Amino acid sequence: VNSRDPDKESENLKQCFYYLNMTSRSFSSVIQELNPELLVPVAIFYLVLRGLDTIEDDMTIPLQKKEPLLRDFDKILFKDGWNFNGNGPDEKDRELLVHFDVVVTEFKLIKPAYQKIILDITKKMGNGMADYCNNAEFNENGVDTIKDYEMYCHYVAGLVGEGCTRLFVESKLANPALLQRPELSESMGQFLQKTNIIRDLQEDFHDKRRFYPKEIWSKHVTNFEDLFDPKNVKAALNCTSEMVLNAIQKADECLFYMAGIKDQSVFNFVAIPQVMAIATLELVFQNPKVFTGVVKITKGDACQLMVESSQNLRTVCEVFKRYARRISKKNNPADPNFLDISIACGKIEQFI
Ligand code: PS7
Ligand code: MN
Ligand code: MN
Ligand code: MN
Ligand code: MN
Ligand code: MN
């Protein structure tokens, strides 16, 4: 159920929703079904971060120009009429930046307490992204250690989790105790980002970007590009397994987080992407198609998952258990991470 009230929306706000629908397949519907108190602030938060990510992803912007854009992106939110005519890798995302002035206009109209949260997260994310794109080693060889990998995921997703949580608590739609457990919202973001990185492996490689940490891939292949050579498919699948293991290890923290959400619309907003993520992890697990293209869960599965995750914590736990069981079934005894994967899945299956 869409919570928007088009009669009360200005032309400018309608434009913002137009760009939201254009730039997001997965988040636009759950955002538009949010409690009216948070609908516009979260939509603007999404558009601001989508704009920032489009700058980060634009490999045609020279570093000297990109770095200050990322670091000062929060200040752009005070520049009336600001827009950017870049080469965003995705035409739709590029289009958002060309018309970014509509986002700036709307940002000024939301409650100051929400503005403050959005500004703070945008500033931290932009600086984190800038640190990574400044690092020559990261550009040429990607991330080194698992610690670096998780730090990158913190900047681009853990911080989104923090910002969302602060918005939920500020609007009294979530338990304030969540702010005392920052590792839970961090896990929510890490889970989505890590799944995205595993799924987008081939597409990112094609764009000369590599997010798998060397600490993991080097155990399975000599050079990163060997992952894509069909004669190494066994080793490459073992590498994917280790990445999946790393991602599911904190699934229990995601379930704990969701237990702290009071409002049904906020629950759906946080639960739907998590459920899609665990289904995606099951899909990429032991699946050689991730080395040749992007795999996606079917429309039918996505619809069913949407219904199941829009209920309560119990139904979401059931979905997590179902996919954990499916991962266990596909788990290969010859995989060096067989035992750890089996333990991690067992932990999810026993959660309730
Ligand atoms: C503000 C809803 C809700 C506690 C644009 C939602 C890109 C996976 O890499 O577009 O282009 O393929 O497929 C979303 C925790 C962030 C983390 C991060 C803002 C959940 C800019 C989402 C989304 C925290 C950096 C989208 C992290 O994937 O990426 C709002 C709680 C944006 C959330 C990016 C990725 C999101 C992502 P890509 P996608
Ligand atoms: Mn990016
Ligand atoms: Mn991106
Ligand atoms: Mn991606
Ligand atoms: Mn994407
Ligand atoms: Mn590409």
Closest CA to 277 of 259, 297, 294: 297
pLDDT per residue as tens digits for the range 8-18: 999 999 999 99
Mean pLDDT of 286-311: 96
Q: Is 17 a catalytic residue?
A: no
Question: Burial level of 348, CB count in 10 A (0-12/13-18/19+)?
Answer: buried
Question: Burial level of 333, CB count in 10 A (0-12/13-18/19+)?
Answer: exposed
The CA 27 to ligand 5 mean position distance, Å, reads 11
Measure the CA–CA gap between 261 and 254, rounded to whole angstroms: 12
Ligand nearest to the CA of 203: 6
156 lines ligand 1 (CB under 6 A): yes
Task: Select the more confidently predicted residue: 266 or 351.
Answer: 266
* pLDDT band (50, 70, 90) for residue 142: confident
Q: What pLDDT is attached to residue 180?
A: 98
Mean pLDDT of 197-226: 96
Q: Is 209 a catalytic residue?
A: yes
Judge whether residue 139 has pLDDT over 80: no
Which two tokens mark 49?
């971060």
The CA 290 to ligand 2 mean position distance, Å, reads 19
ipTM here: 0.94
Mean pLDDT of 306-318: 95
* pLDDT band (50, 70, 90) for residue 134: confident
* pLDDT > 70: percent of the chain: 100
246 lines ligand 1 (CB under 6 A): no
Q: What pLDDT is attached to residue 286?
A: 98
Mean pLDDT of 258-265: 95
Ligand nearest to the CA of 56: 2
Judge whether residue 25 has pLDDT over 90: no
Ligand nearest to the CA of 156: 1
Mean pLDDT of 189-216: 96
The CA 57 to ligand 2 mean position distance, Å, reads 5
- DSSP 8-class letter at 261: B
Q: Is 155 a catalytic residue?
A: no
Q: What pLDDT is attached to residue 206?
A: 92
Q: Which amino acid is at 104?
A: V
Helix axes of 313-330 and 338-349: crossing angle, nearest 10 degrees: 160
Q: Is 269 a catalytic residue?
A: yes
Which two tokens mark 24?
């997001």
Nearest atom of ligand 1 to the alpha carbon of 50: 5
Measure the CA–CA gap between 50 and 197, rounded to whole angstroms: 17
Judge whether residue 331 has pLDDT over 90: yes
Considering only CA atoms, which residue is closest to atom 31 of ligand 1? Answer: 161
Considering only CA atoms, which residue is closest to atom 14 of ligand 1? Answer: 46
Q: What pLDDT is attached to residue 28?
A: 97
Question: Which of 17, 100, 138, 152 is labelled catalytic?
Answer: 152
Which two tokens mark 326?
């499916």
* pLDDT band (50, 70, 90) for residue 138: confident
The CA 36 to ligand 6 mean position distance, Å, reads 37
* pLDDT > 90: percent of the chain: 92
The CA 156 to ligand 2 mean position distance, Å, reads 7
200 lines ligand 1 (CB under 6 A): yes
Closest CA to 279 of 337, 213, 192: 192
Q: Helices in the chain by DSSP H: which ranges?
A: 11-23, 28-32, 36-57, 63-71, 73-76, 91-98, 101-107, 112-134, 136-141, 146-153, 159-170, 182-199, 201-206, 214-217, 233-248, 251-258, 264-284, 299-309, 313-330, 338-349
